[in-house]
Structure 1
Amino acid sequence: MCIAMSVAVIIVNWNGWKDTIECIRSLLRIDRDVNIVICDNGSTDGSFYEIQKWLIDNLPEINVDRSSLGRKSVGFRFLETVPHTSTSSDQCGITLIRSDSNLGFAGGNNVGLRYALAGDHSHFWLLNNDTTVAADALDRLLERVSEDDRIGICGSTLVYFDKPDVVQNLAGGGFKKFRGKAYSMGMGLPLSEPIDRACIENELRFVSGASMLVTRTFLEQVGLMCEDYFLYFEELDWAERSRGHFKLAYAPQSIVRHKVGASIGTSDFGNRSTLSDYYMNRSTIKFCWRHSKISLPIVLSLVARDAVRWCRQRQWSRAAILARAALGLPYQA
C-alpha cells in the first residue's frame, strides 16, 4: 500500500560525508519520490564540497537508471549559506545547505525543517546521516501515521549496520524519572523476535532521532526542536512538550540500519567520547530541570560519583569535563 503523501527527508552532516552519501544512495532506492534536505553542520573535513561533487558526478547516471524504471529524475541545489527564507518553488530533489558553524543536532535539523516547511510537504523524515534505509521503510512509517490522526511522531526499528539481524532500538525509549535516566528499548534483541507494537507504544516516551517521521501538524502546533541542548535529549524534550496533544507511534516493519554515533563517538558499549560524555550529562541535567525536577538529586549525585571515579583513575580531564557539565560551563577538551 503506497500512501500519497509528500515527504521531505532531513539529514544533518558533520564531518561524515561518506556516511551521508551512503544514506542518500539508499534513499534514492526507496519506493517513493522524496525531497532530501541536507544541512552540512559546520564540517571541517570538506564535507559540503565532497557531497556536492558526488551529486554532480553521480546523479546523471542515477537519473538514467531511474528513468528506465519510470521514476522521476532528481535535481539538486547547493546553498553556501543558511537561507533566511525559502518558497515552495525552491524545493527540489536534493538540497544541500552549508552552515558556517556547528549548530548541534537540533539546530542542524531545524535548518532543514525551516527550509522544507516552505514546501507543501505533509511529513518530515529526520534521519541520522549514518543510516541506510530499507526500500519500504518510509511507506511503513506513513501507513502507521495514517491510522491515527493524533500521531505526531513515528519511529522505526533500528538495527546495527554491521549486524542487521540484531535490534539496536525499537522506535525510541522511555524515561525513569526516579533515576533521571532515559533508556533505549529492544537493544540486542534478534530482529526475528515477535514485537508487540501496542506494548512498545505504551512505554514509549520519545522517538529516536536516528529515524523519526514527524507530521506537519505536530511542527505547526509544538514547534521545532529546542536548540539549547545542542546534543542529546532533544527528542525527549520534543515529546514532552507535545504530551497530551499528540501520540508517539512505532512502525515495526520500517527497518533502518544504523552505525551508531559515527560522528561524535557515541557507543552502545564501552566508554563514550569526552564530547559525548559532556553533552549527555549536561543535557540530562537541563531536561530534568525543565521537565522532571524530582530527578535532579539522583542525576547530580550520579555525575558526582562518576567524577570521583575518574579522579581515582587519575583521569583528571574526564573528571573536569563532568564538573563543567554539572556547572553549565562550556565544553573544553
Structure 2
Amino acid sequence: MTQEAPQISILILNWNGKEDTIECLESVQKIDYPNYKIILVDNGSIDDSVTIIREKFPQVLIIENGANLGFAAGNNAGIDYAISQGADYVFLLNNDTVVDPKILWAFIHANEKYPDVGIFGSQIYYYKEPKKIWFAGVQWLPSQARFIHTGCGNIDNEDVKEIQFSEYICGCALMVKSEVVKKIGMLEPKYFLMWEEVDWCYRARRAGYKCLLVPESKVWHKISSSFSGGDKAPHYQYFWWRNRLLWVERNFSFLEALSIYKVIFRDILRQLRKYFNSQSGSQERLKSQAALQGVKDYFFRQFGNCPAWVRSPVKQ
C-alpha cells in the first residue's frame, strides 16, 4: 500500500442503466486522486450498455455477470476482483450518482484521523436539489424496529463539517477497507437488494471496526433508479419487509431479536389491515400484498430475487 495514496478501486454496478452510468463515469473520471481504478460490473443488461460504455470508456474494466445477480452478488464479483488485484480499499458507488472530485481524499484524510474505521460513507444529496441532504448517517430505533436518517431533508450548512460515526453506511456510496472484507466476508447474496449493506456494517462493527460518515465526501443521488415509484413500488416493499426480518435474524441475539419481532409483528398486522381495507387492484393493495409476500417468503426461506409478479404486478 502506498501510504500517501493507497490504491482504491471504484466499483459501479450497472443494470440497463447506460444513461445514468455514463454520467456517473464522466463524474468519476474527474476525481482528483492519483491512485484509483474504475471497475464496472454489468448485471446482465439487455440494452446496449456494455457496448456503448466499452466504446466510450476504454480504460474502464468491465466485468459481465451475464445475469441480474442483485446488488450483493453483483458487487461481490467486483469486490473479489478488486482485492485480488491489490486494492487497499473498494468504493461501492451507485450508477445513478455523480461525485465531488475530492471524494477519495476526504476518505483517506478521515482514515488518518480514525484508523480503527473499517467502512466509510459519503454525505449524500438529492441530485435535483444539490444542497438538500438525503443521507448523513442513521440511528436505530428499537421501539420501532427501524432506522431513521439523521439530517435527511436538511439544507447543508457549509460551515458544519462534523465527521460522525453511524450505525451503518448507505451502500449508494460506501468505501470499505480490503482487510475488513478479508475478515468478515462479502455481502450476503440472500438479500439480493436492500439491507445487505446494513448487514455488512453490523458484521464489521462486531469485528471491531467502526463506520464513519465523512461530510466532505459528497455524492449526489438520483433517488431512486433501482425502484421506479420509490418506496411505493411493490418490489421495494417486498425487499424491505423480507430483508428486515433476515437482518434481525442474522445480527441480534435470540432475546434481542424476540423483542424486535414483537414490533415487526405489530407492523405486519397493520399491513394486513391495509390489504383488506384497500380496493382490489389499487396501488395500496399491491404494496401491502408485496409486503406480505416478503414476510411469507422470509418464513419459507425464499431469498434472492423477488417473484416476477412483484416486480411487474398485474392489477386485477
TM bucket by the smaller chain?
0.7 to 0.9
Please tell me whether residue 225 in structure 1 is matched to residue 190 in structure 2.
no
- 1:305 aligns with 270
- 2:223 aligns with 260
Shift of 1:263: 2.6
- 1:38 aligns with 40
In structure 2, C-alpha distance between the alignment counterparts of 1:272 and 1:45, rounded to whole Å: 26
- 2:30 aligns with 29
The Cα offsets for residues 239-285 of structure 1, whole Å up to 9 and x where unpaired, read as 11122410111211111111122132363xxx421111110111111
Question: Which amino acid counterpart does residue 144 of structure 2 have in structure 1?
Answer: R
- 1:327 aligns with 296
In structure 2, C-alpha distance between the alignment counterparts of 1:318 and 1:263, rounded to whole Å: 16
- 1:8 aligns with 9
- 2:50 aligns with 48
- 1:155 aligns with 121
Identity %: 26
- Distance change (3 Å), C-alpha of 1:105 and 1:164: same
Equivalent pair of 1:22/1:132 in contact (CA under 8 Å): yes
- 2:313 aligns with none
- Distance change (3 Å), C-alpha of 1:216 and 1:321: same
The Cα offsets for residues 1-57 of structure 1, whole Å up to 9 and x where unpaired, read as x9411110011111211111111111111112421111111223332223223325x
Question: Which amino acid counterpart does residue 312 of structure 1 have in structure 2?
Answer: N
- 1:67 aligns with none
Equivalent pair of 2:234/2:291 in contact (CA under 8 Å): no
Question: Which amino acid counterpart does residue 138 of structure 2 have in structure 1?
Answer: G
Question: Which amino acid counterpart does residue 190 of structure 1 have in structure 2?
Answer: I
The Cα offsets for residues 298-325 of structure 1, whole Å up to 9 and x where unpaired, read as 1132133124213312234433322211
Question: Which amino acid counterpart does residue 274 of structure 1 have in structure 2?
Answer: P
The Cα offsets for residues 111-156 of structure 1, whole Å up to 9 and x where unpaired, read as 1101111112111111111111111111101110122221100111
In structure 2, C-alpha distance between the alignment counterparts of 1:217 and 1:101, rounded to whole Å: 29
- 2:174 aligns with 212
In structure 1, C-alpha distance between the alignment counterparts of 2:235 and 2:171, rounded to whole Å: 18
Equivalent pair of 1:232/1:283 in contact (CA under 8 Å): yes
Of the candidates 91, 98, 103, which is equivalent to residue 137 of structure 1?
103
- 2:314 aligns with none
The SS at the match of 2:270 is helix
RMSD: 1.9
- 1:242 aligns with 204
Q: TM-score, normalised by structure 1?
A: 0.81
Equivalent pair of 2:118/2:176 in contact (CA under 8 Å): yes
Equivalent pair of 2:271/2:292 in contact (CA under 8 Å): no
- Distance change (3 Å), C-alpha of 1:311 and 1:195: farther
In structure 1, C-alpha distance between the alignment counterparts of 2:129 and 2:180, rounded to whole Å: 33
In structure 2, C-alpha distance between the alignment counterparts of 1:31 and 1:275, rounded to whole Å: 37
In structure 2, C-alpha distance between the alignment counterparts of 1:196 and 1:304, rounded to whole Å: 42
- Distance change (3 Å), C-alpha of 1:32 and 1:266: farther
Q: Structure 1 regions of 5+ residues with no counterpart?
A: 57-74, 76-93
Equivalent pair of 1:308/1:319 in contact (CA under 8 Å): no
In structure 1, C-alpha distance between the alignment counterparts of 2:229 and 2:149, rounded to whole Å: 14
Of the candidates 224, 245, 264, which is equivalent to residue 285 of structure 1?
245
In structure 1, C-alpha distance between the alignment counterparts of 2:48 and 2:237, rounded to whole Å: 26
Of the candidates 172, 176, 187, which is equivalent to residue 141 of structure 2?
176
Question: Which amino acid counterpart does residue 184 of structure 2 have in structure 1?
Answer: V
The Cα offsets for residues 63-90 of structure 1, whole Å up to 9 and x where unpaired, read as xxxxxxxxxxxx3xxxxxxxxxxxxxxx
Equivalent pair of 2:232/2:287 in contact (CA under 8 Å): no
The SS at the match of 1:163 is coil
* Matched positions, count: 289
Q: Structure 2 regions of 5+ residues with no counterpart?
A: 311-316
In structure 1, C-alpha distance between the alignment counterparts of 2:262 and 2:95, rounded to whole Å: 35
Question: Which amino acid counterpart does residue 246 of structure 2 have in structure 1?
Answer: K
